[in-house]
Amino acid sequence: MESIIPTWQVSFLCGVLTWVVLSSMFNVTQKIRSSVQPWVSRRVISGTSTILQIQKYQHGFWDALFSGISCVVSVPFYTGFLPLLFWSGHGKLARQMTLLMAFCDYSGNCIKDMVSAPRPKSPPVRILTATKDEKENALEYGFPSSHTLNTICLSGYLLHYVFSCNENINAYYQVATFMFVCLFVALIGFGRIYLGMHSVIDIIGGVILGLTILAFWLRVHEYIDNFVTLGQNVTSFWIALSFLLLFAYPTPEHPTPSFEYHTAFTGVALGIVTGVQQTYNQFHHENVSRLFTLELPIPIPAFAMRMGIGIPTILLVKFCSKALAKWILPITASALGIPVRSSGYVAALTGSLVVKKSNEVKPSGGYLQKMIFRREDLFDVDTGIRLVQYAGLAWSVVDLVPSLFYQLNL
């Protein structure tokens, strides 16, 4: 009889759990940081002169250009763009870009907080943060550059997808498109230096990590997509994996927003996988109507109506998911005897944050240590709330909203 839970899933999860426990016991994060951080920090300091040379040519036009480009490749932009990609009928591309984005976000932020290397010092460097998102990004560590990493991976995969779906594209068009992508990546990297957000070593790290992740993803993306759409025990496996990834995340030298970003996008990936697994044969198979195609095209007015209905719906689900999680998770934790605190979501639990604030800057191997090895610590319930909130939002993108489209003949 075939096993209900595939052996490889059990082995994979046990492998991740074993790594997390061993890395916590042997303080792997601190050992890696002690060896890598000084090397990166020296190059950040030595690269200050390069940044100042570039910033000599500062101008309002360049400020607006590079700030605008940075917004286009930011996580909030992708968060808004990916639902539209799902609703346009390009489900496979949307699934892959969502999961790739989650993988890039987790990998890049893990390295950032593990190394804990500083951004360029201001002054003398001028750091331009034109948006609230950029101000929050400036609170993260610098190495590697997430904008560079994400741009390489997502634009590279999009290029691969377009070329693989259109085999008759001539060589001249392929070369021109490839050069355009390379130019765009170069502008992103240069712009991050010009804005004072990163040093040269951060950009180089983002390029190397981005190319490595992209090469890996192009080898495994078909297997991942087949598993998500047609696999066995997908939802349970992904829930367990998401839970482990939360506690596998390395503890930074000082608190940063990076863990919050990772938690949000891990929730997005969980919601997408759960929703697609349930509704693949109804809404996300390869024969659905698609925007900008000759076969079964989606009319532009119908797509506009989809956006008009879909966006308010997912925002409502996000609000309701957060409210529900704020009510259920503290009650559940209390019933299980788990001591919790809140960084801001649950007012009744924020008072205990001051008492345990010193725990935030304690060096440790990983967040799992706080669960297993120091049970007297308070656990931040906001992490679970954020995960549920974004999982609910993503689920609505691929399940609830397409169901509404079906009922309305859109």
Residues with active-site annotation: 147, 198
Q: What is the rounded distance in angstroms from the CA atom of residue 274 to the CA atom of residue 267?
A: 10
Alpha helices in 197-336 (DSSP H): 200-230, 234-248, 258-279, 300-336
Residue type, 335: A
User: By CB neighbour count within 10 A (0-12 exposed, 13-18 middle, 19+ buried), where does 7 fall?
Assistant: exposed
Q: What is the 3-state secondary structure (H, E, C) of 20-60?
A: HHHHHHCCHHHHHHHHHHHHHHHHHHHCHHHHHHHHCCCCH
Instruction: Provide the total of helices (H) and of strands (E) in the chain, helices listed first.
Output: 17, 2
| Secondary structure of residue 379 in the 3-state scheme | strand
Q: Hey, how many other C-beta atoms are within 10 angstroms of the C-beta on 67? A: 17
Buried b (16+ CB within 10 A) or exposed e, 339-360: ebbbbebbeebeeebeeeeebe
Q: Using N-to-C axis directions, what is the helix angle for 234-248 and 258-279, rounded to 10°?
A: 180
| Dihedral sign of CA atoms 287, 157, 233, 388 in order | negative
Contact (Cβ atoms closer than 8 angstroms) between residue 308 and residue 401: no
Residues 120, 51 contacting (CB under 8 angstroms): yes
Strand, helix or coil at 366?
coil
Q: Please, which residues bridge with residue 340 across strands?
A: 379
C-alpha to C-alpha distance for 70 and 187, rounded to whole angstroms = 10
Q: How far apart are CA 397 and CA 400, in angstroms?
A: 7
